[in-house]
Amino acid sequence: MDSTRSLRRVLWMAVVGFALLGAVLSQANTAKEPQQNVPRDALGAASPEYQQKALAKLMPERDVSKITEVFDPVIRNAFIPKDNDLTAKRVELGKKLYFDKRLSADGTVSCATCHDVTRGFTDQLAVSKGIDGQLGKRNAPTTLNSILLQTLFWDGRSPTLDNQAKQPILNPVEMGMADENAAMKAIRGDPEYQKMFREAYGRDMNYEDLGRAIGAFERTLVFMDSPFRRFLAGDDRAISAEAQAGFELYNGKARCAACHPMSPSNPLGTDNRFHNVGVSARHQDFEALGRRAVKLLKEDSSEQKLDELAVGTDLSELGRFMVTRNRVDMGSFRTPLILNVGITPPYMHDGSLMTLWDVIDHYNKGGEANPFLDGGIEPLALTEEEINQLVAFLFTLTDVRFADENQRQFNRQQAAAKKNRPIRDEAIANRQVIPFEKRVMGTKATKK
């Protein structure tokens, strides 16, 4: 009797053990490389066919006009241009253009190369690679939720998605078309496009409508259903206690919300303003760069020239200064939206920070000293525990439809951060209690 019972127990333990092991292994697998079998091109992008299938799975909605109904009508109307209301035909056309490599000079690059459905709608590279493997100087932001951005590009040089979309096609290190005519020539003979343009805009194909259609498509990429949002809506268990503590730090001691506010009318986590948070400053002589920029822009300050200089040369580091030529804007960049930030590494305008731990270390250090550093950036005296809490919080901002990729990124970044935290030591050396903390928080803000 006793021996059968213990045999049964052993068997049960074996069964449970195997099941657990299986679960752990499959978890480790998905967390590590669920994307192993994705067909990828030389630039690392998933094939257009694969991406479109993945997109259809993410967004099964047929009625695109419904997508923006999540917004207050006042907000929605502010971000949909008068001459480009959202219609299914326009979105369908924009989608085709977004994935079409014919819009690049050598037929190898589309918008979806650098804003890839399988890579958080970015390329997950430090800086982007365009035709002939040319490297730009800037990190590709995600196209997700770009509908609500007040300006586009890291320096805000473009006012609308419709305008923005026309630029990468002509940029020599991105898609490399000589001019608008060359771009239109590449697709003009396609009868399907002729029909789709006509149905979408009621006239012949032209470059302005190409920009509008792509803009319309991008406006449907609304991915805001994050665990954090569910938490705000009242589901206390949507995020961990660690992440909740991170949210408190975000609004309090770490002062992130000063520039990355999140409110019902502005849920993106950006103030849409420009700040020098000491990223460029690692290795820049702003004054010399500024003089060169002013000289070059005197010769040609067209939209296209500005785009070329900003993306393809070391003047990139001047940031907003290139647009305003105002000294106070040296090295300042638009606060990026931080929804889905877990799945869009590396970070910052130059992709210089590999993980969200590195990002917090950067702020904890107080950024890189430079004459144009924003007043809001000071050493923070965050402890390791608090850093982990902030990172845990940032990972709750990813839409639940990307939960697998988010978990994979968390594991990958955590492993990388365990091995190497380049800024942590400097951050610790800089650690200090800010005068305001000493006064307001009393003994709570002791040095650790």
Q: Which residues bind ligand HEC (CB under 6 A)?
A: 109, 111, 113-115, 128, 130, 136, 138, 140-141, 143, 146, 149, 152-154, 161, 164-165, 168-169, 174-175, 214, 254-256, 258-260, 275, 277, 279, 310-311, 333, 335-336, 338, 341, 344, 347-349, 359-360, 363, 374, 376-377, 390
Q: Are 253 and 133 in contact (CB under 8 A)?
A: no
Q: Which is nearer to ligand HEC, 365 or 408 (CB)?
A: 365
Nearest approach, Cβ of 15 to ligand HEC (angstroms)? Answer: 44
CB of 200 or CB of 259, closer to ligand HEC: 259
Q: Please give the span between the terminal C-alpha atoms of the chain, in angstroms, as a whole number.
A: 60
Characterize 35-44 residue by residue with b for buried, 16 or more Cβ atoms within 10 angstroms of its Cβ, and e for exposed: eeebebeebb
CB 29 → ligand HEC: shortest distance, Å?
27
CA distance 276 to 357: 20
- Backbone CA torsion sign across 257, 147, 152, 99: positive
Which candidate, 86, 241, 68, places its Cα nearest to that of 145? 68
Contact 124, 344 (CB under 8 A): yes
Is 238 or 254 the residue whose CB approaches ligand HEC more closely? 254
The phi and psi torsions of 80 (rounded to 5 degrees) equal -115, 110
CB of 76 to ligand HEC, least distance (A): 18
**Nearest distance, CB of residue 227 and ligand HEC, angstroms:** 17
**Could you tell me which residues come within 8 angstroms of residue 421 by beta carbon, excluding any fewer than 6 positions away?**
357, 358, 361
CA dist., res. 24 & res. 180, Å (int)? 53
Q: What is the nearest approach in angstroms of ligand HEC to the Cβ of residue 24? A: 30
For residues 156 and 272, what is the distance between their CA atoms, to the nearest angstrom?
9
* Comparison of 214 and 392: residue with beta carbon closer to ligand HEC: 214
Nearer to ligand HEC, 30 or 40 (CB): 40
CA distance 331 to 324: 12
Least distance from ligand HEC to the Cβ atom of residue 348, Å: 4
- The answer to whether the beta carbons of residues 330 and 374 sit under 8 Å apart is no
Pick between residue 30 and residue 257 the one whose CB is nearest to ligand HEC: 257
> Which residue, among 168, 37, 150, 58, has the nearest Cα to 113 in the 3D structure?
168
CA distance 309 to 216: 27
Tokens of 356: 């969200």
Q: Of the two residues 176 and 201, which places its CB atom closer to ligand HEC in the complex?
A: 176
**Judged by CB, which is closer to ligand HEC: 155, or 238?**
155
For the bound state, the minimum distance from the C-beta of residue 415 to ligand HEC, rounded and expressed in Å, comes to 19
CB closer to ligand HEC out of 238 and 262? 262
